């Protein structure tokens, strides 16, 4: 892809890659680093606020416990209960004590923002309350009352109170008969409204940011306070549950009462918005709760986002100026190169003006390129001028050469025609002489053939005579041999008869072997059946029986093959018997015929001797005739050879002239082609402008 880009585009791309990509990388690195620093700062702030909130809540609950113990151990309280138990509730002493309690506890309630302060006796009956509507009520069934009467100061769970129409926590403290010792004779109870806890949790969270939020939750995600922001900021405690990643992170620590737990993280809050959260665990009275401090992700990274936008704007401006600078630099480099390309293109495709030169405006590499390019064009101009002049001279010379070759070709063609006529006459004479020579050669060949055949016939008659004599001798030997053959035939006949008898006996033996093999096979089959009945114990015997059966079958097969062979031998013996009988008769006839042949051979010998004498005379006559025809043939062959040599010489002369004509034609064609090339070269050089 980069190969297809122009030089200007490559320069711009190079400047962008080498200059702006590192800048963008550094900008991104700065943004990432700033976001990391902001994240750490936000987490640190959230964590500090979480610890501060936990500390404030712990301090508040500790102070309330101190308040409870101070009130329970005051004389007005524990003596007042003793008076209430000893006197009638309408007694003057109790009424005085009641008024003291009312002043004391009402001031305490207002001073420490308690919702209600009430006192119960050891039966759980409320004998005094800042909320007069609850006096005389019995609250013994409440767990925190029972634990206090057992002597343990404790907090209730957060619950909804109809009397104050809000959620409350109650701290119940035992009242001992001697103030700080003795038997528990009642309880003093301090009721704290939920909004007091809300204020402690929400106090100062706005310093984290406009979206800063904080709340307490139970292990199952139930809100124990309202959130500061959002849809759960009112009447949500004990009514709403939150299911967010932050609650999942802290829930396990709440269930395990891990008061040392702290954690930070990025997740989506109950509204589905990305937040940075800090988590902790506290004791809310007697019970464990989770503290959640959160700030919106967008607000936390507001400055980082602004920095990112600023960097984008700055990089865009720098990129724009960089592109302009790259365009300027690329123009400085590419314009001289474009001019060079235009000149090369004009030389290659245009009018080929070699009189133009490039302007040299600098001493850098581009100026040197222009200088050497002008020198190169100047040298090409000199070459074109010289080629143009030479091509003109070459064109004129090639035309003159073509005319001379054309005239020479005409003369050569006339000479070739005359020689062709002479060659044709010699060829005709040679043909006639060859025909005469052929006739004489045929006569000579006939005479030679007759002489040879006569001689061969004489030789053959001599050989026939010798053969006849030799044949007569052999006839005598044949007669003697045939007598011996007759004796041998008699002996052969006896042997064949014996062989036939032996074959019959062997057949009977083989039949007996076959019967035995069939019996063995049957016994082996019965043995295998018995072995199968015997089960495992007979398995070995079954193998032996199987092997015996296979051997029996093999013996039977061999016996069958022997039977076939014996039958074949019997047939052959019977045929041999017939042949011997026939041969005996033929031998008798042969003896008789051999004697008759011997007599005829004597007659043939006499006739062959007469033929041999006559063939000798014919051979001598034909030999003389052959010698005469050979002399005639030699004379005619000499005449024919001379004529053929003359004809061949004239043909060679004609062929040489034709070859010379062809060569001159090729030279003429080359001259014409050379002329065309010189014209074309002149046309090409004329395209260049050199003046």
**Domain residue limits at 160:** 41-298
Where is pLDDT greater, at 631 or 254? 254
Give tens-digit pLDDT for 127-160.
Answer: 999 988 888 899 999 999 999 999 999 999 999 9
pLDDT in tens, 442-481: 656 765 675 676 577 667 667 766 766 776 676 677 667 6
Residue 619: pLDDT over 90:
no
In a domain, 544, yes or no: yes
- What percent of the chain lies above the pLDDT cut of 90? 16
Of 555, 590, 617, the domain-final residue: 617
Residue 173's pLDDT band (cuts 50, 70, 90): very high
Residue 177, pLDDT > 70, answer: yes
For residue 673, being part of any structural domain is answered with no
Total domains in the fold of the chain: 2
- The SS3 of residue 217 is strand
Q: Looking at residue 549, what is its pLDDT?
A: 73
Given this model, what pLDDT does residue 303 score? 65
pLDDT at 614 over 90: no
The span from the first CA to the last CA of the chain, in angstroms, equals: 43
Determine the pLDDT at residue 118.
Answer: 94
- Whether 534 has a pLDDT exceeding 80, the answer reads no
pLDDT value at position 445? 72
Handedness of CA 244, 249, 252, 254 (dihedral sign): negative
| CATH (domain of 46) | 3.30.450.20
352: left (phi over 0), alpha (psi -120 to 50) or beta: left
- Residue 3 pLDDT greater than 60, yes or no: no
CB 51 within 8 Å of CB 366: no
Q: What angle do the packed helices 21-73 and 302-349 form, to 10 degrees?
A: 170
Give a yes or no: residue 210 inside a domain: yes
466 within domain boundaries: no
Residue linked to tokens 């704007």: 313
- Average pLDDT (155-166) is 90
Mean pLDDT of 19-29: 64
pLDDT at 198: 92
Band of residue 347 on the pLDDT scale cut at 50, 70, 90: low
| 432: pLDDT strictly greater than 60 | no
Place of tokens 């004379």: 635
Residue 631 lies in a domain: no
CA distances (Å), 349 to each of 314, 342, 687, 690, in order?
Answer: 49, 10, 10, 16
pLDDT of residue 326: 65
* Residue 132: DSSP 8-state: G
Note the pLDDT of residue 270: 84
Residue with tokens 């309408």: 90
How is residue 184 written in tokens? 């528990």
pLDDT band at 597 (very low <50, low <70, confident <90, very high): low
**pLDDT computed for residue 444 by the predictor:** 60
| Pairwise pLDDT comparison (386 vs 468), residue with the higher score | 386
Average pLDDT over residues 364-383: 66
Provide the pLDDT for residue 350. Answer: 55
Indicate whether 395 pLDDT > 70: no
Dihedral pair phi/psi, residue 599, rounded to 5°: -65, -40
Tokens 């052969």 label which residue?
Answer: 492
pLDDT score of 168: 93
Per-residue pLDDT band at 563 (split at 50, 70, 90): confident
pLDDT of 63 > 80? The answer is: yes
pLDDT at 344: 65
Mean pLDDT of the chain: 75
What is the arithmetic mean of pLDDT over 414-438?
62
Mean pLDDT of 287-297: 88
Q: What is the pLDDT of residue 479?
A: 61
Domain for residue 607, yes or no? Answer: yes
Identify the residue with better confidence: 258 or 299. 258
The more confidently predicted of residues 688 and 621 is: 621
Instruction: Tell me the DSSP string of 644-677.
Output: HHHHHHHHHHHHHHHHHHHHHHHHHHHHHHHHHH
Tokens representing 68 are 């409870």
* Residue 453 pLDDT: 67
- CB-count exposure of residue 132 (10 Å: 0-12, 13-18, 19+): exposed
Confidence tier at 390 by pLDDT (50, 70, 90)? low
The larger pLDDT score, comparing residue 73 to residue 298, is at 73
CA atoms within 13 A on the CB side of 481: 7
Cβ neighbours of residue 11 closer than 8 Å, sequence gap 6 or more: 326, 329, 330, 333, 334
Using the 3D structure, point to which of 600, 617, 634 is the last residue of a domain: 617
CATH code at position 526: 1.10.287.950
Does residue 94 fall inside a structural domain?
Answer: yes
More confident residue, 166 or 563: 166
Last residue of a domain, one of 556, 582, 617: 617
DSSP 538: G
Mean of pLDDT values over 669-677? 69
Q: How confident is the model at residue 222 (pLDDT cuts 50, 70, 90)?
A: very high
Q: Residue 169 falls within a domain, yes or no?
A: yes
SS3 of residue 6 by DSSP: coil
Cβ 83 vs Cβ 99: under 8 Å: no
pLDDT bin (cut points 50, 70, 90) of residue 575 is confident
Residue 306 pLDDT exceeds 70: no
Q: Is the pLDDT of residue 105 over 70?
A: yes
Cα dihedral value 363, 368, 371, 375, nearest 10: 150
Which among 612, 587, 600, 379 is positioned nearest to 489, based on CA atoms?
Answer: 587
């Amino acid at each position: 892809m980069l190969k297809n880009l122009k030089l200007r585009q490559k320069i711009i791309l190079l400047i962008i890659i080498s200059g702006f990509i590192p800048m963008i990388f550094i900008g991104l690195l700065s943004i990432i680093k700033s976001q990391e620093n902001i994240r750490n700062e936000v987490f640190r702030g959230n964590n500090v606020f979480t610890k501060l909130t936990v500390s404030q809540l712990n301090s508040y609950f500790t102070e309330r416990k101190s308040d409870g113990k101070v009130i329970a151990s005051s004389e007005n309280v524990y003596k007042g209960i003793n008076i209430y138990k000893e006197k009638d509730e309408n007694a003057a002493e109790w009424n005085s004590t009641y008024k003291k309690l009312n002043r004391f506890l009402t001031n305490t309630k207002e001073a420490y923002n308690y919702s209600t302060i009430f006192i119960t006796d050891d039966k759980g009956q409320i004998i005094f309350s800042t909320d007069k509507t609850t006096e005389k009520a019995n609250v013994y069934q409440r767990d925190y009352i029972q634990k206090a009467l057992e002597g343990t100061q404790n907090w209730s769970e957060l619950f909804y109170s109809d009397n104050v129409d809000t959620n409350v926590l109650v701290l119940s403290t035992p009242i001992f008969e001697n103030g700080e010792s003795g038997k528990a004779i009642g309880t003093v109870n301090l009721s704290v409204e939920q909004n007091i806890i809300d204020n402690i949790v929400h106090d100062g969270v706005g310093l984290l940011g406009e979206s800063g939020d904080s709340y307490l939750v139970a292990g199952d995600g139930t809100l124990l306070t309202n959130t500061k922001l959002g849809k759960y900021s009112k009447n949500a405690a004990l009514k709403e549950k939150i299911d967010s990643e932050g609650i999942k992170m802290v829930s396990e620590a709440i269930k395990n009462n891990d008061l040392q737990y702290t954690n930070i993280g990025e997740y989506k809050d109950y509204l589905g918005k990305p937040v940075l959260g800090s988590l902790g665990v506290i004791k809310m009275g007697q019970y464990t709760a989770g503290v959640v401090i959160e700030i919106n992700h967008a607000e936390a990274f507001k400055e980082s986002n602004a920095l990112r936008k600023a960097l984008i704007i700055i990089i865009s401006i720098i990129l724009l100026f960089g592109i302009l600078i790259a365009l300027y630099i690329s123009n400085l480099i590419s314009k001289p190169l474009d001019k060079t390309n235009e000149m090369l293109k004009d030389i290659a495709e245009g009018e080929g003006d070699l009189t133009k030169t490039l302007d040299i405006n600098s001493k850098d590499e581009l100026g040197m390129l222009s200088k050497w390019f002008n020198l190169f064009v100047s040298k090409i101009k000199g070459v074109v001028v010289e080629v143009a002049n030479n091509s003109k001279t070459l064109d004129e010379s090639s035309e003159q050469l073509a005319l001379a070759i054309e005239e020479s070709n005409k003369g050569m063609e006339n000479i070739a025609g005359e020689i062709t006529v002479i060659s044709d006459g010699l060829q005709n004479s040679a043909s006639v002489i060859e025909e005469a020579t052929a006739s004489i050669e045929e006569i000579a060949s006939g005479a030679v053939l007759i002489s040879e055949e006569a001689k061969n016939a004489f030789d053959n008659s001599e050989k026939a005579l010798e053969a006849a004599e030799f044949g007569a001798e052999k006839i005598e030997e044949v007669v003697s041999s045939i007598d011996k053959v007759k004796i041998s035939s008699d002996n052969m006949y006896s042997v064949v008869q014996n062989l036939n008898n032996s074959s019959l006996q062997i057949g009977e033996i083989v039949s007996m072997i076959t019967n035995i093999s069939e019996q063995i096979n049957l016994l082996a089959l019965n043995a295998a059946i018995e072995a199968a009945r015997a089960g495992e114990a007979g398995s070995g015997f079954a193998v032996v029986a199987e092997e015996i059966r296979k051997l029996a079958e093999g013996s039977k097969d061999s016996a069958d093959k022997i039977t076939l062979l014996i039958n074949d031998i019997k047939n052959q013996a019977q045929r041999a018997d017939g042949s011997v009988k026939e041969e005996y008769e033929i031998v008798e006839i042969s003896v008789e015929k051999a004697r008759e042949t011997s007599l005829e051979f004597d007659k043939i010998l006499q006739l062959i001797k007469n033929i041999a004498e006559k063939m000798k005379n014919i051979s001598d006559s034909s030999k003389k005739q052959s010698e005469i025809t050979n002399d005639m043939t030699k004379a005619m062959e000499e005449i024919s050879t001379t004529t053929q040599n003359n004809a061949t010489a004239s043909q060679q002369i004609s062929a040489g002239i034709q070859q010379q004509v062809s060569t001159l034609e090729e030279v003429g064609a080359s001259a014409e082609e050379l002329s065309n090339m010189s014209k074309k070269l002149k046309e090409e050089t004329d395209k260049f402008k050199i003046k």
